[in-house]
């Protein structure tokens, strides 16, 4: 690689300073990456645990609804489940974790009555299904949060790693190369100067 | 602190139960329909916090869902259909992890192996 820098002391000082900053930055980023990775692996583990739990709960609840569907008509079921019920929302608060903004979901207040319909006209299957779905809801929201965090953190890890690599394999070696080049050039000049002086002294001595 | 709405997208029979939870439902019959609804729902002005989508209709729009994963809102979450989970959700996470870590650490059930 052709080094293109002025072999001066000024330049040498400047480059050494940059090198120090780069090395320090590299160390910091590397620490960040390690920490991200540690958090990430824990989250992935939690995600898998929650996912398994939620899928099991949901599948069972859905089976219950399928049973209810066999007896009740779609429109009937739709009114029964949706009747007199306000839309429930989630409150999301952004939390900054490891410099990434992640949403933290909190479900709005729950209605005291779990069953939105009159108990007389519906089947026990439906009650059971609604109850199951209710108990799976909280883990489901939690899963949404964890899964989103995993996704966002994965992106951050990728970005950080790219920066660490750029510093480690491109910028730092390049700076070191330039510093070495200038040092050698300066030493060479020094030697050239010395030899010239000796030569001059010799000529003067003879004369 | 802001309030967001929730919605469920999928075949009618799978998502009907979400009504009881106070979640909006958008029944669809095809992936194309699901994609169109998803696009409508992800509009930030609509203020959806979490969108549940069943694996069966999400299968072919997985790329779009993964792309949405890079922004904080909304969160698109895959759920199993009434015919049981197909494992797409875990598969998707496995791929994300693989890309981030550079190795597949999720495979064996015995836990982490680095």
Chain B interface, best mutation among A104, A113, A147, by max B CB count within 10 A: A147
**Residue A81 near residue B17, CB atoms below 8 Å:** yes
The CA-atom distances, in angstroms, between A171 and each of A18, A33, A142, A163, A177 are: 10, 18, 42, 10, 10
Rounded to a whole number, what is the distance in Å from the CA of B101 to chain A's nearest CA? 8
Q: Give A-chain residues touching B97 at CB under 8 angstroms.
A: 40, 44, 150, 154
Give the confidence band of B112 by pLDDT, cuts at 50, 70, 90.
very low
Per-residue pLDDT of chain A in tens (207 residues, 90 and over written 9): 566 788 899 999 999 999 999 999 999 999 999 999 898 889 888 988 998 888 888 888 888 888 877 777 777 777 777 655 666 677 777 778 777 777 888 877 666 566 666 666 667 777 778 888 888 888 888 888 888 888 888 888 988 999 999 999 999 999 999 999 999 999 999 999 999 999 999 999 876
ipTM attached to this prediction: 0.81
Report the alpha-carbon distance of residue A156 to residue A141 in Å, rounded. 23
Q: Give A-chain residues touching B6 at CB under 8 angstroms.
A: 88-90
Q: Give B-chain residues touching A133 at CB under 8 angstroms.
A: 17-18, 20-21
Residue A115: per-residue pLDDT: 66
Closest residue to B97, CB basis, from A92, A154, A161: A154
Residue B107: per-residue pLDDT: 55
Minimum Cα–Cα distance from A85: chain B residue: B22
Q: Give B-chain residues touching A97 at CB under 8 angstroms.
A: none
Mean pLDDT over the full length of chain B: 77
Segment B21-49, tens digit of pLDDT: 778 888 888 888 888 888 888 877 778 88
Q: Give B-chain residues touching A114 at CB under 8 angstroms.
A: 20
Report the alpha-carbon distance of residue B58 to residue B56 in Å, rounded. 6
Residue A117: per-residue pLDDT: 65
Residue B109: per-residue pLDDT: 45
Place of tokens 């075949």: B11
Q: Give B-chain residues touching A90 at CB under 8 angstroms.
A: 3-4, 6, 49-50
Q: Which residue segments constitute the domains of chain B, with CATH numbers given?
A: 5-84 (3.40.50.10580)
Residue A166: per-residue pLDDT: 93
CB contact under 8 A, B77 and A115: no
Q: Is B88 exposed, middle or buried (0-12, 13-18, 19+ CB in 10 A)?
A: middle
Rounded to a whole number, what is the distance in Å from the CA of B32 to chain A's nearest CA? 23
Select the more confidently predicted residue: B78 or A94: B78
Q: Give A-chain residues touching B23 at CB under 8 angstroms.
A: 87-88
Tokens at A35, concatenated: 């920490």
Residue B17: per-residue pLDDT: 80
Select the more confidently predicted residue: B1 or B6: B6
Residue B111: per-residue pLDDT: 45
This prediction's pTM: 0.79
CB contact under 8 A, A151 and B96: yes
- The DSSP-derived string for B79-103 is E-BTTB--SHHHHHHHHHHHHHHSS
Q: Tell me: pLDDT of B113 over 80.
A: no
Minimum Cα–Cα distance from A95: chain B residue: B1
Across B50-70, average pLDDT? 82
Minimum Cα–Cα distance from A160: chain B residue: B100
Minimum Cα–Cα distance from B110: chain A residue: A45
CB contact under 8 A, A115 and B20: yes
CB contact under 8 A, A40 and B23: no
Residue A2: per-residue pLDDT: 61
So what's the architecture of A9-206 in CATH?
Answer: Orthogonal Bundle (1.10)
Report the alpha-carbon distance of residue A54 to residue A141 in Å, rounded. 10
Chain A interface, best mutation among B2, B6, B20, by max A CB count within 10 A: B20
**Residue B21 near residue A111, CB atoms below 8 Å:** no
Domain boundaries, chain A: 9-206
Residue A15: per-residue pLDDT: 94
Residue A144: per-residue pLDDT: 87
CB contact under 8 A, A144 and B1: no
């Amino acid at each position: 690689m052709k080094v293109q820098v002025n072999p001066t002391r000024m330049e040498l000082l400047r480059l050494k300073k940059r090198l120090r900053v780069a090395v320090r930055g590299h160390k910091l980023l590397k620490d960040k990456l390690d920490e991200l990775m540690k958090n990430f692996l824990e989250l992935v583990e939690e995600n898998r645990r929650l996912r398994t739990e939620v899928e099991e709960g949901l599948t069972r609840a859905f089976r219950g609804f399928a049973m209810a569907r066999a007896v009740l008509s779609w429109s009937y079921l739709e009114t029964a489940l949706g009747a007199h019920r306000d839309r429930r929302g989630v409150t999301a608060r952004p939390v900054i974790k490891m410099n990434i903004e992640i949403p933290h979901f909190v479900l709005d207040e729950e209605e005291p009555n779990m069953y939105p319909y009159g108990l007389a006209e519906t089947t026990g299957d439906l009650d059971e299904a609604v109850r199951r779905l209710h108990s799976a809801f909280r883990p489901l929201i939690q899963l949404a949060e964890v899964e989103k965090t995993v996704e966002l953190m994965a992106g951050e890890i990728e970005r950080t790693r790219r920066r660490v690599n750029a510093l480690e394999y491109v910028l730092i070696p390049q700076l070191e190369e330039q510093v070495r080049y200038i040092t050698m050039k300066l030493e060479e000049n020094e030697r050239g100067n010395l030899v010239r002086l000796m030569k001059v002294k010799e000529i003067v001595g003879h004369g | 602190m802001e309030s967001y709405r929730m919605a469920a997208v999928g075949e009618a029979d799978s998502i009907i139960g979400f009504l009881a939870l106070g979640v909006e439902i958008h029944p669809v019959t095809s992936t194309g329909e699901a994609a169109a609804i998803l696009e409508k729902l992800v509009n930030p002005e609509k203020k959806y916090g979490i969108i549940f989508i069943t694996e069966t209709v999400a299968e072919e729009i997985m790329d779009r869902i993964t792309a949405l994963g890079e922004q904080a809102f909304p969160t698109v979450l895959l759920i199993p259909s009434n015919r049981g989970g197909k494992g797409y959700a875990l598969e998707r996470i496995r791929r994300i992890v693989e890309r981030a870590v550079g190795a597949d650490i999720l495979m064996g059930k015995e836990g982490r192996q680095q």
